[in-house]
Each structure stands twice: as structure tokens, then as C-alpha cells.
A and B are shown apart, each in its own frame.
Chain A
Amino acid sequence: MKFKLVMAIADDRRTRDLVKVAREAGATGATIVAGVRGEGRKRSFGILGLEISEARDMLLFLVEETRARRVLEKLAETGELDETPGTGVAFQIDVEDAVGVRHQMAEIAAEIEKSA
């Protein structure tokens, strides 16, 4: 089974919703790195030298290959990533090999069999 790593970097207020829709779209888990700082095209300048860049969470999903695009689209739709500037980004990276996903693989295989 091939996996993709779907990463989303978004406003921390949306984290809960994004994880929820990613799960619905076929992600079998999520890793959240909280308190990441982000800067977009416009540099953020703060008051008295304190930067007020947005509070971000970084979400990592190890997703079975055939579901990756769907997860990505759901994330973009829910997070309004393409509609509104500064909301965040989502992208996917190829994963060459993975261990520790045996239980997820069993779950995914069962779901695919059920839907077939």
C-alpha cells in the first residue's frame, strides 16, 4: 500500500474542523504540531518590534495514495484556502516507505473491500 503525506498549515482555530473533514475523506489519523508561526507574501510587522504573525497549526496526515487528492480538496474547501488569502496551504508529498501503519492498512483494506 502506498502512502502520501498530506500537510496543511492553517489557522489554529480551524484545526478541529480540518482534522474532522480529513478523516471523513479517508485519513486514518492526524498529527498536529501546534504553535507554528507563519508568514505569507506580505511580511508581518508588529508593534514595538513584536511580530504578530498568525498562530498556526501544522497538520500531518499519512494518507493512502488513492485518497490523498480527496483529502487535499476537502481541506482546501473547509479551510477556504484558495478563496481567502492568509488562510493557509495544503499540499502532498510522496512517502517512499512507511512502518507503523499496519493497523491503518488493515482498516483501509477492510473499507475498500466493503465499498467494492
Chain B
Amino acid sequence: MLIAIVDDQWTERVMDSAREAGAAGATLIQEARGQGRKGSRSVLGLELDSGRDVILFIVPRDRARTILESVARTARFDETAGTGLVCEVEIEDSLGLRHQFVDAVDHSAAMEPSP
């Protein structure tokens, strides 16, 4: 599972790039709040955290790194400070993904060397 925490203006583009890189779906948690190394500025007690979205992608392990890199490139995580981050967490067991990865299964079958 990939967990991306991004500026909400980038959500759409990040989801598109993940999909292009092979993610079968996404779950979006909106209006999270984030702070980086510098904390947040505040005016009259109102904090100005930028609006963040948390996006979860459940992806097959062999595609995870590609999608991770694609997301990071799209949202410029490594070039610009404060843009967000993406990380990968291992899923040990899952149910309900049969419909999602029909094509992934076909794909791996096609990769088998023919006798």
C-alpha cells in the first residue's frame, strides 16, 4: 500500500499519474492537516496549514516502486520542500481485491515463459 500525503491542489494529478503507472484504485481522505519542518505560520491565532489530502493506493508489490516514483515525480516531492511525501507499507493479507487485480493476474500469466 502506498500512502501519499499531498497538497490538495495536486491530488487530481497525483491520482492520474498513479493510475497511469498501474494503480487500480485509490482512497482519498480529504482535509487532513500537515506541517513540515518549519511548523506553520499563523495570523491572529488562525493557523495557516496548507490543505492536505491523504491518498491510499493498494497496488501489487511488483508495481509499487514504479508508482511511488511516478507520484514523487508528479508532485515534485524531492525538488520542492513542503510539497508532501509518499511512502510504502507492506500489506500482509487482504480480501476484496479479486476484482481489482484481474488484469494483474492476466498480466503475470502472460509473462510466464511459454514451454
Q: Which residues of A contact B (CB under 8 A)?
A: 4, 9, 33, 35-41, 43, 56, 58, 68-69, 72-73, 75-76, 79, 81-82, 85-94
Contact = CB atoms under 8 A, between A and B. Distances in A.
B100 A41 contact: yes
Contacts of B87: none
Chain B interface extent, by class: 20 to 34
Would you call the interface of chain B mostly helix, strand, loop, or mixed?
mixed
Interface of B: 1, 15, 19, 24-30, 56, 58, 89-100, 103
Contacts of B29: 33, 36, 58
Contacts of B99: 40-41, 82, 85-86
A68 to B, nearest CB: 7
Given A39-B15, A91-B1, A75 B95 contact: yes
